[in-house]
Structure 1
Amino acid sequence: MSARVRSGGDVVAITAASEGKGEGQIEVELAKCECCGLTEECTPAYIARVRERYSGRWVCGLCGEAVKEEIGRAGRRISTEEALHRHMSFSRDFRSASPPSNPAEDLIAAMRHLLRRSLSSPRALRSTPASPRGEEDNDGGRRRRSLARSESCFASLPAP
């Protein structure tokens, strides 16, 4: 088996041919994603299809799925080009963001904020266990019945 490597921009072509009749030639190119920088081995035909879909840019499969998600998530119809621009902007901002100076303090602050938010919410909005069957109220409608504990959930232990 022999291999030949040629480089051109962010694509590197690797041609592998079996010895003998030259059968089974597989040309593989390494293409670098313009969003996240991931490098994948792909055939030239696949690279051409992806570039055609994304206006000449090569985008890896993961970023391609993110672009599809961006199109679905948008409140209005947006083009693939606009969704790709949004995703590339997000990727660029994410990579340029510096890590927190003190991750432990950031985690504590986030947990504090979450706890305060949950404690300040009205009691009725919190989930409460209820039976799927309700009791009828005076108006003939269904009323939810809450579960009441009849005894301790801990098993009683006999004294020695």
Structure 2
Amino acid sequence: MKDQMEVEVAKCECCGLKEDCTPAYIARVRERFHGRWVCGLCAEAVKDELCRSERSISMEDAVTAHRQFCSQFNANPAVNVAEAMRQLLRRRFESSRVLRPTQSSSSLPVAEDVGRPASLGRTTSCLS
């Protein structure tokens, strides 16, 4: 039981974020990312790097590419995370625009039950 309660500080090898994690969790993340521990946000960015790469790259190459991206923003961790999220969202938005054909306004779906109230409307307040 003591092993389950044991925690270690793990530092993301991309952005430098530190988290308290169990040794088992740290081992699973390192196994997935070729011996490197990466935080959840960077793990998503690495997955995005794999998907958007024009050529087939390995997980290790994707981690290295994201690590290099993170190294550009070492000054302030809060700015790093915000900028990384902005870049990630921009890339996702741009890639979804390329993959999806644009719809004309005439082909947009029309709401049929416009006058009907929402099915999960609030009926009472928890405040007195």
Q: Give the TM-score category using the shorter length.
A: 0.5 to 0.7
Q: Tell me the distance in 1 between the aligned counterparts of 2:57 and 2:105.
A: 45
Task: Pick from 9, 13, 26 the counterpart of residue 30 of structure 1.
Answer: 9
For structure 2, the 5+ residue unaligned runs are 76-103, 108-128
Residue 41 of structure 2 aligns to a residue in which SS?
Answer: helix
Task: Confirm whether residue 39 of structure 1 aligns to residue 18 of structure 2.
Answer: yes
Residues 11-36 of structure 1, C-alpha deviations (whole Å, 9 max, x = no match): xxxxxxxxxxx879611111111111
Residue number in structure 2 paired with 1:75: 54
Over 3 Å counting, the alpha-carbon distance change for 1:25 and 1:47 in structure 2 is: closer
Which entry has the higher C-alpha Rg, 1 or 2?
1
Task: Pick from 97, 102, 106 the counterpart of residue 132 of structure 1.
Answer: 106
| Residue identity matched to 2:106 | P
Q: Give how far 1:95 is off.
A: 2.3
Relative to total residues, which structure has the larger helix share, 1 or 2? 2
Task: Confirm whether residue 84 of structure 1 aligns to residue 58 of structure 2.
Answer: no
Relative to total residues, which structure has the larger strand share, 1 or 2? 1
Q: Tell me the distance in 2 between the aligned counterparts of 1:37 and 1:26.
A: 24
| Residue identity matched to 1:66 | A
Q: Give how far 1:65 is off.
A: 0.5
Residue number in structure 2 paired with 1:95: 74
For structure 1, the 5+ residue unaligned runs are 1-21, 97-129, 134-160
Residue number in structure 1 paired with 2:81: none
TM-score computed with the length of structure 1 as normaliser:
0.44
> How well do the aligned residues superpose, as a CA RMSD in angstroms?
2.7
Over 3 Å counting, the alpha-carbon distance change for 1:131 and 1:84 in structure 2 is: closer
Over 3 Å counting, the alpha-carbon distance change for 1:131 and 1:89 in structure 2 is: closer
Identify which of structures 1 and 2 has the higher relative contact order when contacts are C-alpha pairs closer than 8 Å and 6+ apart: 2
How many equivalent pairs are there?
80
| Residue identity matched to 2:68 | S
TM-score computed with the length of structure 2 as normaliser:
0.55
State the identity as a percent: 61
Q: Give how far 1:57 is off.
A: 1.1
Q: Tell me the distance in 2 between the aligned counterparts of 1:45 and 1:35.
A: 20
Residue 49 of structure 2 aligns to a residue in which SS?
Answer: helix
